A = this chain, B = another copy of it.
Amino acid sequence: MEEEPRTEISELGEFGLIRHLTKNIELRNESSRIGVGDDAAVIEYDSGMQTVVTTDLLTEGIHFDLIYVPLKHLGYKSVVVNLSDIYAMNATPKQVTVSIAISNRFSLEAISELYEGIYFACEKYGVDLVGGDTTSSLKGLTICITAIGEVKPDHVVMRNGALENDLLCVTGDLGGAYVGLQLLEREKRVYLENPEVKPDLEQQTYIVGRQLKPEARKDIIELFEQMQLKPTSMIDISDGLSSEILHLCEASEVGCDLYEAKIPIAEETYNMALKFNLDPTTCALSGGEDYELLFTIAPGDFDKVKNNPDISVIGHITAKEKGAHLITKGNNVHPLTAQGWNALLKG
């Protein structure tokens, strides 16, 4: 690392750094009227559209570990996790603001790498970086991203609309990000004990990718629009399937039956979980960070999703009094509990 060029941020100053990081921005959305460079950004959506806003704050040592997370991936993921929240409202993200606080440990080259990932995500998802703040911290890296999007008022899907007999659906597969994290943590321990040993990720590119470079389900929101399917409730999976199901049930004042056998788990996730002596179902239920969409649909909409390989029906909504339950592969019934990844308890 010593050989790589290192430019101190202090050589540029705050305004120089902002200029450097934003000089190549080209606004791609017509709604991005004024971007970086004034006191605030100005956005104008088509008349009748609603504005959707979400924000996330990520801190070094809690949400990411720079020993195994490349800065470019971190930038990418920081944007994606926010976009995921916009999609979870059945809305389309159009703009982001990015604020970072950095200690003098970070060089211009390091921060440029972070922004490469940020811009890469913006390009892939068609959003504009329109503002932010760049400042210093006494220690570590902090990233705060706000995503802004648009939605037709009658398209908004909240957490509170699930009704009895609705089908509980999830996109993609679950648990991969968590098992990927276990693998990265193992290699970190090996590395700290002996920096000469090269990391052995065992060609587990899928689960490592799920952890380091998750994607938000833009495709599913577009599919809903095409199929004219409006879920009755929706949430994205950041904390783990069981925690998110409980959020939906609580907001909608309903219960649910979740079938273990129906939970989609990728083969690579399954096998690696067993290698770590972890129960694959527990990884899917409590692992989190999959950024898949969990949603409910009216029973009459089953035909629209039944043949879609990206959507699994994993259960159904019941009356509130019945509570939320997991029906295991052996047909045992357990109350569903949230043991999701809780940033505050980890801290």
Residue positions of A touching B, CB distance < 8 A: 9-10, 13-14, 17, 33-34, 37-45, 47-48, 50-63, 85-86, 88-89, 91, 95, 97, 99-101, 103-104, 130-140, 142, 144, 146-149, 151, 153, 156, 158-160, 234-236, 251, 342-347
Contact B53 A131, beta carbon cutoff 8 Å: yes
26 contacts between A and B (CB under 8 A): A13-B345, A14-B342, A17-B344, A38-B160, A38-B251, A39-B86, A39-B159, A40-B89, A42-B51, A42-B156, A44-B153, A51-B148, A53-B97, A53-B130, A55-B99, A55-B132, A55-B146, A56-B99, A57-B99, A57-B142, A58-B135, A59-B101, A62-B101, A136-B343, A136-B344, A139-B139
Complex Cα spacing A268 to B54, Å: 43
Indicate how many identical chains form the complex. 2
Asked whether A251 and B44 contact (CB < 8 A) given A148-B53, A347-B103, the answer is no
Contact B158 A38, beta carbon cutoff 8 Å: yes
Contact A48 B51, beta carbon cutoff 8 Å: no
Kindly report which residue of chain B lies nearest to residue A233, judged by CB atoms.
Answer: B38
A96 shortest CB reach to chain B, Å: 10
Kindly report which residue of chain B lies nearest to residue A100, judged by CB atoms.
Answer: B57
* Residues in B neighbouring A56, C-beta threshold 8 A: 99, 133
Asked whether A85 and B40 contact (CB < 8 A) given A13-B342, A136-B344, the answer is yes
* Residues in B neighbouring A85, C-beta threshold 8 A: 39-40
Q: Which of A86, A139, A147 has most B Cβ within 10 Å?
A: A139
* Residues in B neighbouring A58, C-beta threshold 8 A: 135
Asked whether A37 and B146 contact (CB < 8 A) given A51-B44, A101-B57, A344-B17, the answer is no
Asked whether A251 and B55 contact (CB < 8 A) given A14-B343, A42-B151, A62-B138, the answer is no
Complex Cα spacing A154 to B53, Å: 24
Contact B42 A54, beta carbon cutoff 8 Å: no
Complex Cα spacing A235 to B40, Å: 10
Complex Cα spacing A52 to B146, Å: 13
Complex Cα spacing A53 to B39, Å: 9
* Residues in B neighbouring A346, C-beta threshold 8 A: 136
Contact check: which of B34, B39, B100, B138 meets A235 at CB < 8 Å?
B39
Complex Cα spacing A346 to B138, Å: 10
Kindly report which residue of chain B lies nearest to residue A153, judged by CB atoms.
Answer: B44
Kindly report which residue of chain B lies nearest to residue A98, judged by CB atoms.
Answer: B55
9 further interface pairs, Cβ-Cβ under 8 Å (given A9-B344, A38-B158, A99-B144): A13-B345, A41-B53, A53-B148, A55-B146, A60-B138, A104-B347, A136-B343, A136-B346, A137-B347
